Amino acid sequence: MLHEILLSLSGHPSPLLRPSTLEADALAAITPPERQLLASAAHLSHVHVRLIANASQISASHPSPVCRAVSNAIQSHHLAAFQRKILDVEQSILRHDPDLVGAYHIVPLTAVMSEFQQWTRKMDWLLATSNFILDKRGGNAPCQGADLICRLRVDVGSGYRDVADAALDLTKVAETAWLKQAAAWVLYGRLPTLGSTDFFIQEAHSPQEEFTIVPEYLPPFVTLPTASSMLYIGKSLNRIRAVGGASSTLGGLDHVSSKLRELAGLTFPVNAVALSRTVSSIRRSLAENTLSKLLPLVKVVDMLQLLRDFFLLGRGEFALALTQEADEKIRNRWRRAGNLANEKDVLKNVTIKDGEVAAVLNRTWTVLASMQGQHADEDEQLDLARDLLRLQLANKPQSAPAATSDFSSDVAKCLGQLQFNNLLFSVPATLHIDLPAPLDMVISPSDLFIYSSINAYLLSLQRAHIRLTDLWKMTSLRRHHAAPRGGGEHAVMLRQRWSARSSALRSSWTTASAAIFFIGETEAYLQTEVIAGLWETFSAWLIGDNVRQNNNDVLDSEAREQSPVDGGPSNQFEDLFIPEHHFNSRPPAAAQPRSPVHDPQSLSKAHSLYLDILVRRLLLTQPTFTTSLYTLLVHIDHLILHMRRLHSIFISMDLEADAGVVDEFVDLEREEQEVMALLHAVEAEVRGGIEAVVGTLRSLASNIDFLAEWEAEGRIVGDDDLDEEDRYTPGRIGGIDRLLMKLDFGSWLGSGDGGWEQETE
Identify the pLDDT of residue 546. Answer: 43
Identify the pLDDT of residue 235. Answer: 87
Question: Which of these, 154, 165, 188, lies nearest to 263 by C-alpha position?
Answer: 188
Query: In whole angstroms, how far apart are CA 392 and each of 419, 427, 432?
Result: 15, 11, 8
Query: In whole angstroms, how far apart are CA 669 and each of 436, 562, 652?
Result: 58, 70, 10
Note the pTM of the prediction, 2 decimals. 0.77
- Give tens-digit pLDDT for 41-66: 888 888 888 999 999 999 998 999 99
Identify the pLDDT of residue 294. Answer: 79
Identify the pLDDT of residue 37. Answer: 73
Identify the pLDDT of residue 255. Answer: 64
Identify the pLDDT of residue 244. Answer: 61
Question: Which of these, 540, 502, 582, 448, lies nearest to 725 by C-alpha position?
Answer: 540
Identify the pLDDT of residue 725. Answer: 58
Question: Which of these, 302, 312, 300, lies nearest to 440 by C-alpha position?
Answer: 300
Name residues whose C-beta falls within 8 Å of residue 279's C-beta, 6 or more positions apart in sequence.
186, 226, 229, 230, 233
Question: Which of these, 745, 37, 636, 645, lies nearest to 346 by C-alpha position?
Answer: 645
Name residues whose C-beta falls within 8 Å of residue 381's C-beta, 6 or more positions apart in sequence.
302, 305, 306, 309
- Residue stretches of the chain with pLDDT short of 50: 21-25, 245-253, 339-348, 403, 405-406, 546-594, 713, 716-721, 746-747, 749-755, 757-761
Identify the pLDDT of residue 375. Answer: 63
